[in-house]
């Protein structure tokens, strides 16, 4: 009973934190863009689901993932197992409870690389867009100042 109450409070705390984060408050140097975040989220979700389907289809030809034990029995009993393995792989968590075998090893490597590079590209793009918008404003202000200085000098 006590643990259930604590779990509920913890979930409420996390939801409140996420709400506060996404509530649209503007901060002076905030690089967060909700549309860019949504693109990243849905891209990662789509890639995770796509690779899960790929692993599931590969499993029709033979073992794709095995349980990491001495027996090494087949770890993919249903689609949810492949979805779990795909999610763990793209997030680069790699718990080690399921291990790719055969052709899946190559695809797991590609998926892990995508999971590492896609968020990196997201942050670079977000920073670049933020700097580009502030850089243009600063450039225009400098040009205006130079223009008024030049006008003042020609009048003397």
In order, the DSSP letters of 31-64 are ---HHHHHHHHHHHHHHHHHHHHHHHHHTTTS--
52: buried, middle or exposed (CB in 10 Å: 19+, 13-18, 0-12)? buried
Give per-residue pLDDT as tens, 91-126: 988 888 888 988 899 999 999 999 999 888 888 877
Integer CA distances (angstroms), 29 to 18, 47, 130, in order:
19, 31, 9
- According to DSSP, the residues that pair with 51 across neighbouring strands are none
Asked whether 98 and 75 are in contact (CB, 8 A), the reply is: yes
144 has a pLDDT exceeding 80? no
Task: Return the pLDDT at 153.
Answer: 54
């Amino acid at each position: 009973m006590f643990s259930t109450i604590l779990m509920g409070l913890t979930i409420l705390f996390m939801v409140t934190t996420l709400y506060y984060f996404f509530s649209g408050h503007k901060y002076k140097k905030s690089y967060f863009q909700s549309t860019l975040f949504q693109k990243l989220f849905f891209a990662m979700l789509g890639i995770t689901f796509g690779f899960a389907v790929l692993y599931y289809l590969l499993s029709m030809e033979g073992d794709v993932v095995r349980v990491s034990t001495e027996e090494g029995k087949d770890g993919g009993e249903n689609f949810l197992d492949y979805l779990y393995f795909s999610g763990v792989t793209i997030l680069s968590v790699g718990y080690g409870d399921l291990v790719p075998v055969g052709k899946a090893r190559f695809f797991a490597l590609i998926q892990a690389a995508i999971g590492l590079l896609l968020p990196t590209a997201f942050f670079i793009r977000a920073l670049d867009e933020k700097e580009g918008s502030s850089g243009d404003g600063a450039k225009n202000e400098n040009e205006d100042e130079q223009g008024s200085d030049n006008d003042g000098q020609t009048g003397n």
